[in-house]
């Protein structure tokens, strides 16, 4: 049951990230950084896609995804429609992989050592939910700030 609830939150937040990227009226603004903003919305989107495809897709689902984390922050000017497709593909991957995980697996050790000490798969999935929500909020704020849209 918990894995199904986690899946709902992941999908909801990925759909929100998609909505935020789609709301940019000026595609160039997606890649803009200024006023002390460290990362563009485009780079945050690439980071979220890379993060989830690596830690869930490749690690738990054996999708074969190979991550290049550095490129998530270096790539620029990817078309808005391509970013949206990447999010859609990540949603499909999440649906597939998380549907195959059983609640009992949440107590098992997560296959990768990510932090200083080992964690359970459940703990790490909860961490990833928080990470996703944090960056979706940054994308929302970036869009509203740079497009002067505080609605």
DSSP characters over 87-112: HHHHHHHHHHHHHH--GGGGGSBPSS
Angle between helices 41-52 and 80-100 (to 10 degrees): 20
pLDDT in tens, 15-65: 999 999 999 999 999 999 987 888 999 999 999 999 999 999 999 999 999
Residue 110 to residue 112: CA distance in whole angstroms? 6
- pTM, 2 dp: 0.94
Helix (H, G, I), strand (E, B) or coil at 4: helix
**What structural domains and CATH numbers belong to the chain?**
2-146 (1.20.120.450)
């Amino acid at each position: 049951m918990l894995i199904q609830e986690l899946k709902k939150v992941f999908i909801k937040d990925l759909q929100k990230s998609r909505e935020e990227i789609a709301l940019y009226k000026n595609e160039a603004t997606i890649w803009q950084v200024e006023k002390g903003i460290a990362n563009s919305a485009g780079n945050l989107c690439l980071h979220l896609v890379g993060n989830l495809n690596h830690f869930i897709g490749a690690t738990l689902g054996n999708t074969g995804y190979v991550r290049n984390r550095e490129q998530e922050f270096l790539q620029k000017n990817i078309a808005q429609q391509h970013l949206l497709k990447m999010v859609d593909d990540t949603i499909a991957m999440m649906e597939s992989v998380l549907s195959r995980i059983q609640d009992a697996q949440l107590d098992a050790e997560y296959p990768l050592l990510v932090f200083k000490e080992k964690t359970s798969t459940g703990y790490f999935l909860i961490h990833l939910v928080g990470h996703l929500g944090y960056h979706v909020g940054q994308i929302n704020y970036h869009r509203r700030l740079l497009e002067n849209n505080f609605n």
